[in-house]
Structure 1
Amino acid sequence: YGGLARGLHESAKVIEKHAAQLCVLAEDCDQPDYVKLVKALCAEHSVSLLTVPNAKTLGEWAGLCKIDSEGKARKVTGCSCVVVKDFGEEHEAYNVVLQHVKAN
């Protein structure tokens, strides 16, 4: 998870440093100013923006949870914004995300 910035503060810093490759925003964020700021920063710095239905899903994807012995996520913490700084090794999932970003 070293290639991610989670939350508004970390995400804004990464975007402003031109180190962001992708930004993911939760649609259920209940703070309009938060959403407005993230969208404006992404537009200003030409960062691709994806949305996901809810913050719990995004939090799980960002590793903000405990994984039990069966491999299921427990105690998931919601997260409204995640920025990808480094995709890591290139593999099929990376290509799927990249194709989706280019299509939208």
Structure 2
Amino acid sequence: MSGCSHGATIRSVTPRTIGCEECLEEGQAWFHLRICRECGHVGCCDQSIGKHATAHFHQTGHPIIEGYDPPEGWGWCYVDEVFVELPDQTTQRGPIPRYY
């Protein structure tokens, strides 16, 4: 994991929700989804109004997310601000509602 020192935090996770956890609670729309590779929190990307994936990082310190919907399979480390290679791709708990 070139440029990232947080590989030990990556886990195989089960998505906690079928869409952005906070947007579903608030009745808000999202653009793309990201999943926390430490705990399985599903949050919306920074192009979404809520920016809940980034908010989850700031709240918990969990550094690595995966591009979750559409299935993208890439990883990102918020701390080191670099893409990371993930050992696997998280299986979706679909169907995931589409809002955009």
TM over 0.5: no
The structure with the largest alpha-carbon Rg is 1
Q: Which has the higher helix share?
A: 1
Normalised TM-score (structure 2): 0.32
Give the TM-score of the pair, scaled to structure 1. 0.31
